């Protein structure tokens, strides 16, 4: 085999490998989803958005820290968080339901969340019942009592769960961490 023919084959192999890598990276970029890692640096593309918290807007990139202990392949992630209800320890059902954690399906296909769990750092855990979360949709997990539907589910608790400094951890039905979000000053970066 001549040197130029060998060179052409090597170049073709390198170009084909690059195309495969680019094709594999494209779905993650198309989802428009990112995570902020331990050092606060972005490790994917952006879903920074803003969330509402007790009358104040907070930049998620500054106030929320995305943990690294999650399954990057899962389309099921934690979205926005509203914690500490009205900012005081009010046990009214209205105050309890004003705190919530949003669970998002950033993929295209529906996922049944049966057996998935959402927990805080104190071990308070909500287990999803039979809930089909359509692709590119979300559900808010409220703390208080209410009637579950496609967009809102309720933990039926009588006390607040999410504190000013807390960590929400989302696990699948096998107990594997899918996503984790921490907020508040002095948070630990797990």
Cα 26-136-110 angle, rounded to 5 deg: 100
Write out pLDDT tens, residues 32-84.
433 333 333 322 223 333 333 333 333 333 344 554 445 568 999 999 999 87
**Residue 3, pLDDT above cutoff 70:** no
User: Looking at per-residue confidence, does 7 or 34 come out higher?
Assistant: 7
Number of Cβ atoms within 10 Å of the Cβ of 39? 9
146 versus 2: which is more confidently predicted?
146
Window from 137-146, 170-179, 181-190 with minimum mean pLDDT: 181-190
93 close to 157: Cβ distance less than 8 angstroms = no
For residue 81, the SS3 value is strand
Q: How many helices (H) and strands (E) does the chain have?
A: 3, 13
Enter the tokens of residue 48. Answer: 């920074």
Greater confidence, 184 or 62? 184
C-alpha–C-alpha distance, residues 99 and 20, integer Å: 43
- Residue count of the chain, please give it: 190
Query: Mean pLDDT, to the nearest integer, of 157-181?
Result: 95
How are beta strands 166-171 and 177-183 bridged, if at all? antiparallel
88-110 burial, b if ≥16 CB within 10 A, otherwise e?
Answer: eeeeebebbbbbbbbbbbbbeee
Tell me what the mean pLDDT of segment 178-186 comes to: 89
């Amino acid at each position: 085999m001549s040197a130029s023919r060998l060179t052409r084959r090597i170049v073709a192999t390198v170009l084909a490998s690059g195309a495969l890598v680019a094709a594999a990276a494209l779905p993650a970029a198309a989802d428009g989803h990112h995570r902020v890692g331990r050092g606060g640096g972005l490790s994917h593309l952006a879903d920074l958005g803003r969330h509402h918290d007790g009358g104040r807007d907070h930049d998620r990139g500054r106030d929320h820290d995305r943990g690294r202990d999650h399954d990057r392949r899962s389309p099921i992630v934690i979205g926005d968080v509203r914690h500490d209800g009205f900012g005081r320890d009010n046990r009214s059902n209205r105050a309890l339901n004003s705190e919530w954690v949003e669970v998002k399906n950033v993929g295209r296909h529906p996922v049944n969340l049966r057996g998935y769990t959402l927990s805080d750092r104190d071990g308070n855990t909500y287990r999803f019942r039979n809930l089909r979360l359509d692709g590119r949709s979300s559900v808010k997990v409220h703390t208080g009592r209410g009637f579950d539907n496609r967009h809102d589910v309720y933990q039926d608790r009588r006390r607040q769960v999410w504190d000013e400094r807390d960590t929400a951890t989302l696990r699948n039905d096998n107990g594997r961490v899918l996503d984790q979000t921490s907020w508040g000053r002095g948070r630990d970066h797990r």
